[in-house]
Amino acid sequence: MQKIVTNLWYDTEAKEAAEFYCSLFADSKITDIQHYTEASGRPADLAVTVDFELNGQKFTAINGGGEYNYTHAMSLLVNCDDQEEVDRLWSALLADGGKEIECGWLNDKYGVPWQIWPTEAYELVSGDDREAVNRAMKAMFGMKKIVLQAMRDAYDGKTDPA
């Protein structure tokens, strides 16, 4: 059993959200659904919790009511292999009402904050060449979706990220 499991709070969309997220990542599945009972005051056919895995990582979606909202104080970071994966997830998570934020962050249509991050970008924002790192960081701060080529060009001094 995974020791720490992330809980995601929804009003009534827990199952829908879990199915959507599972459609985006390999090795993903819904593992259990528990429903409210008549004693809860909520519809008995409404899931109270939906346990699911994304790429082997366990999560629980909870239909707890609409009184809480997400902030970027907690977000789900996806380390992407390449720009193609960044583009695919960015588009899918923004579809049907998501919102771009900045520096690779977005809110999906359920309000859940995600950071879609290409792993190569770690190399561009760290290292010994402080001027190159500064240029790459400056380029990144001007982006919503991370565009690796633009960060590479800034790092290499081919463009001015101003």
Q: Does the pLDDT of residue 80 top 80, yes or no?
A: yes
State the chain's mean pLDDT as an integer: 94
Residue 14: is its pLDDT beyond 80? Answer: yes
Domain with CATH 3.10.180.10 in the chain: 1-64, 72-162
DSSP 5-52: -EEEEESS-HHHHHHHHHHHSSS-EEEEEEE--GGGSS-TTSEEEEEE
Q: Mean pLDDT, to the nearest integer, of 75-82? A: 96
Strands of 14-145, DSSP E: 29-35, 47-54, 57-63, 76-80, 99-100, 105-107, 113-118
The CATH architecture to which 1-64 belongs is Roll (3.10)
Fold classification of 72-162 (topology level): 2,3-Dihydroxybiphenyl 1,2-Dioxygenase; domain 1 (3.10.180)
pLDDT tens for residues 120-151? 999 999 989 999 999 999 999 999 999 999 99
Q: What is the pLDDT of residue 162?
A: 62
Average pLDDT over residues 85-112: 97
